[in-house]
Amino acid sequence: MNNNIETVDARGLSCPQPVMLTSKAIKKLNKGAIEVLVDSGTARDNVSRLAKNSGWAVTIEEQPDSSYRIVLKK
Partner 1 sequence: MSSILRFLTSRWGPIITGTAVGVLAPVLVFLGNPGNMGICVVCFTRDIAGALGLQRAGVVQYIRPEIIGFVLGALVAALAFKEFKPRTGSAPLVRFLLGMFAVFGALVFLGCPWRAYLRLAGGDWNAIFGILGLVAGIGLGIIFLRMGFSLGRSRPAPKAVGWVMPAIMFVLLVLLIAAPQFGRDANGNPTGPIFFSTTGPGSQHAPLLISLAVGLFIGFLAQRSRFCTVGAVRDMIMLKDSHLLNGVIAFIVVAFITNLALGQFHPGFANQPISQTDEWWNFGGMVLAGLAFTLAGGCPGRQLFLSGEGDADSAMFVSGMLVGAGFAHNFSIASSAAGPSAFGPITVIVGLAICIVIGLTMREAVATAKA
Residues identified as active-site: 15
Nearer to partner 1, 5 or 57 (CB): 5
- Contact between 38 and partner 1 by CB under 8 A: the answer reads no
d(CA 24, CA 15): 15
Question: Out of 1, 27, 30, 53, which residue is the one contacting partner 1 (CB under 8 A)?
Answer: 53
* Residues 11-21 as b or e (16 or more Cβ within 10 Å = b): bebeeeebbeb
Q: Which residues bind partner 1 (CB under 8 A)?
A: 2, 5-17, 19-21, 23-25, 35, 39-42, 45-46, 49-50, 53, 65-66
